[in-house]
């Protein structure tokens, strides 16, 4: 199996894991303060990442890699989780699909700026078309607007795209799981300190769904998903593999249909097929 194909498989697994992030965050903010949720999930993932680095006796990053790690940390460890947690107090997880549709474009743009990639013009046509399909599908669901929530989600997409591209670039030399692990450890002292300071005096009112959601966003969204995602971006190309994010909302809808027995509409199936064609086209013209 060639490197590019392996990259797409790893990227696909990462997107599958990330597909539950926004619904889980939405569930978690019902029981936890969004700022505490952000620092708590980062602290939990950071402690696990530290254990991994110690267990595998990983060497410390080179001095010139710490700035990139700081960008990754600010983008995906702090920025995206905090901004989405704040936004999901104003909008539903369904509304966030509008902005998730913009994430592949943001990742591709930063892939050009930070990763030195130069996709062909046809790539951008497929990428924009795919994003418009996701946004159009979300708008067709009848979403209500919230200026505050929309502004927070837009900021989240920008910092996340930068964090994805920077992490993928660094993964080429440092390794996929090492990048997210070092980024988490770099922010651990601050995140853990704030988490302990903001920790509520009692968790008696937190239900089982809240704890499950916290566990998911801490273990899967903050650590395991990135192990596959950064490896996939580094192997298959930031702009190309980043297009797999277009499928993320539909993985979440498929999960809801499977577990919650919700109806899958003909429109949903048609848009999903069109999105897959856009991803295939983007892959073909990415280089």
Three-state secondary structure string covering the chain: CCHHHHHHHHHHHHHHHHCCHHHHHHHHCCCCCHHHHHHHHHHHHHHHHHHHHHHCCCCCCCHHHHHHHHHHHHHHHHHHHHHHHHHCCCCCCCCCHHHHCCHHHHHHHHHHHHHCCCCCHHHHHHHHHHHHHHHHHHHHCCCCCCHHHHHHHHHHHHHHHHHHHHHHHHHHHHCHHHHHHHHHHHHHHHHHHHHHHHCCCCCCCCCHHHHHHHHHHHHHHHHHHHHHHHHHHHHHCHHHHHHHHHHHHHHHHHHHHHHHCCCCCHHHHHHHHHHHHHHHHHHHCCC
pTM: 0.86
Distance CA 130, CA 281 (A): 10
For residue 226, give both structure tokens.
Answer: 């990135």
Count of all residues that appear for the chain in the document:
287
pLDDT in single tens digits along all 287 residues of the chain: 788 899 999 999 999 999 888 788 888 988 999 999 999 999 999 999 999 999 999 999 999 999 999 999 999 999 999 998 898 888 776 667 677 778 888 999 999 888 888 888 999 999 899 888 888 877 776 666 678 888 898 899 999 999 999 999 999 999 889 999 999 999 999 999 999 999 999 999 999 999 999 999 999 999 999 999 999 999 999 998 999 988 887 786 676 566 546 566 777 778 878 888 888 888 888 76
What pLDDT score does 255 carry? 64
Distance CA 174, CA 178 (A): 6
φ/ψ of residue 202, rounded to 5: -145, 145
Supply the range of the domain harboring residue 166. Answer: 3-284
Separation of first and last alpha carbons in the chain: 19
Specify the number of domains making up the chain. 1
């Amino acid at each position: 199996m060639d490197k590019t194909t392996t990259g797409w498989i790893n990227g696909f697994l990462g997107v599958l894991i990330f597909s539950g992030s926004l619904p889980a965050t939405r569930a978690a903010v019902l029981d936890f303060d969004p700022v505490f949720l952000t620092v708590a999930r980062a602290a939990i993932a950071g402690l696990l990442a530290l254990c991994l680095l110690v267990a595998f006796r990983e060497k410390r990053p080179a001095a010139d890699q710490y700035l990139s790690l700081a960008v990754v940390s600010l983008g995906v460890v702090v920025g995206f989780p905090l901004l989405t947690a704040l936004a999901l107090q104003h909008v539903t997880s369904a509304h966030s699909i509008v902005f998730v549709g913009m994430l592949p474009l943001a990742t591709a743009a930063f892939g050009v700026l930070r990763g030195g990639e130069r996709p062909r013009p046809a790539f951008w046509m497929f990428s924009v078309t795919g994003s418009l399909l996701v946004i159009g599908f979300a708008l067709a669901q009848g979403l209500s607007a919230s200026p505050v929530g929309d502004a927070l989600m837009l900021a989240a997409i920008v910092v996340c795209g930068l964090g994805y591209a920077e992490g993928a670039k660094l993964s080429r030399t440092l390794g996929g799981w090492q990048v997210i692990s070092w980024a988490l450890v770099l922010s651990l002292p601050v995140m853990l300190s704030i988490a302990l300071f903001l920790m509520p005096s009692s968790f008696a009112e937190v239900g089982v769904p809240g704890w499950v959601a916290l566990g998911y966003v801490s273990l899967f969204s903050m650590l395991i998903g990135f192990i596959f995602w950064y490896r996939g971006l580094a192997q298959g190309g930031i702009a190309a593999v980043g297009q797999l994010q277009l499928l993320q909302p539909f993985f979440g809808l498929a999960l809801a249909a499977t577990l919650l027995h919700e109806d899958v509409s003909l429109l949903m199936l048609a848009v999903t097929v069109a999105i897959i064609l856009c991803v295939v086209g983007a892959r073909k013209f990415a280089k």
